[in-house]
Amino acid sequence: MFNRQMLFQMANRLYYQAELSRSAALTVAWNLVRSQDPEYTKARGVSFDGRQEILKKLARRGLNGITARLEREPGNQADPLAVAVVLVHPASGHTCHVGYLSRDRADRVAPLMDAGIRVDVLDVEITGGPGGEHFRNYGVNFAYQVAGVA
């Protein structure tokens, strides 16, 4: 069973803020509500701006008490639809930017976020590091899901 109120709230946001026709907005909202399965992906750009050191420390320490969120970066010169992956330690309020959604996923997610539709990050995992004969770069795997109207 789906939440009818959330469906129409999402459709209205898409109609007014993403400038879709009413029928297109309702179709997009219906597809989002109907497919409640999370999407699994990797953060891109984890080897830039000292992010490997941050991920190394987090891999040693563990992710207990750390959550993640997606943040829009409309001022990003490389990609105006960029969506950053940010880790958050709620107790201290500290945040760290660890990468981005891939461009093809950001092309789908950014307009939804701009229209006020909430996208939640569910599972976060740090991968890579020393192991065996070779050292692998650290990475961030995570799942995200459209959660409703912000």
Residue 13's pLDDT band (cuts 50, 70, 90)? confident
Residue 132's pLDDT band (cuts 50, 70, 90)? low
| DSSP strands (E only) in the chain | 39-42, 67-73, 82-89, 94-100, 117-131, 134-149
Count of beta carbons in the 10 Å neighbourhood of residue 121: 19
Residue 118's pLDDT band (cuts 50, 70, 90)? confident
Q: Report how far apart, in Å, the C-alpha atoms of 98 and of each of 70, 76, 86, 109, 133 are.
A: 11, 15, 6, 18, 26
Structure confidence at residue 150 (pLDDT): 59
Share of the chain above pLDDT 90, in %: 35
In the CATH hierarchy, which fold is given to the domain comprising 38-149? Alpha-Beta Plaits (3.30.70)
Range(s) of the chain covered by CATH 3.30.70.2330: 38-149
Structure confidence at residue 7 (pLDDT): 77
Residue 59 tokens, joined: 């891999």
For the chain, give the mean pLDDT.
85
